[in-house]
Amino acid sequence: MEVKAKVKHNRISPRKARLVVDVVRGMRIDQALNQLRFLHKKASIPVKKLVESALANAEHNYDLKKDNLYINELRVDEGRILHRWMPRAYGRATPIRKRTSHVSVVLGEIVDSGEVAPKKQEIEAPVNLQQMAQQQDQEQKQEEAKTSTKKQASQKQEASATKKQTAGKTAAKKQDKQDKSEEQKQEKTDKK
C-alpha cells in the first residue's frame, strides 16, 4: 500500500531542498520526523509538513499505523521560476531567478498489511427540492402566525393602556371641573 502527498510551488530552490530530502529518504516515519525536526536547513520545515501530511493521509484514509510506515520515495522537481531584476552600474539590470520546487513523497509499508482500500464515505440521500421548499413554506407560515399573534396581543395591550389613560384623563378633567366649581362657590360666599 502506497500513500502519496505533494506540495507544489514551494518557495525554495530545488538544489537546497534536495540537501534535506537526501538525508531522510528511506527512513522510518518517526526517525525521519525527528531528523527533520533538528535539521538546521530552511527546507526542513516544508518537507516535515509534507511528511506529516502523508502520514495523516495514511492514518485517516487507509487506517495504517505509524509504526509500520517508511518513506519509500521522496522527490524534488523544479517548479516555476520567478524572474526579477536588480539595478546595477551604468544603468544595467541583472536578472534574478527565484526558483520554486515541487516536492512529492510516497510512503510505503514495512510489513504489508494486505490489500487495503480507502475508507468509503457514507453519502447522504439526495435532497428533494420540492420537499425542502414545502418545509420552508411551512416554517414561514408558522413564523407569520407567531408574529401575528404577538402583534394582536401587543395591539390589545396598547388599546387597554390607551383606554386606561383616556379614562384617567376624563376622570381628572371631571375632578378639575368639580374643584373649579367649588372654588367659584367659595368665592361667591366669601364676597357676600
Query: What pTM value is reported for the model?
Result: 0.63
Angstrom distance (rounded) from CA 2 to CA 68: 12
Residue 90, sorted as left (phi over 0), alpha (psi -120 to 50) or beta, turns out to be left
The residues, any chain, with a CB within 8 Å of residue 105's CB and separated by 6 or more, are 4, 5, 6, 50, 51, 54, 71, 73, 74, 75
Q: What is the pLDDT of residue 47?
A: 97
Q: What is the pLDDT of residue 187?
A: 78
> Look-up: residue for cell 513523497?
105
| Per-residue burial over 71-108, b = 16 or more CB atoms within 10 Å of its CB, e = otherwise | beebebeebeeeeeeeeeeeeeeeeeeebbbbbbbebb
Superfamily of the domain at 3-109: Ribosomal protein L22/L17 (3.90.470.10)
pLDDT, averaged in runs of 10, over the chain (192 residues): 94 97 96 96 96 95 91 96 97 97 96 78 82 90 86 80 72 75 78 66
Q: What is the pLDDT of residue 145?
A: 87
- Where do the structural domains in the chain lie, given as residue ranges? 3-109
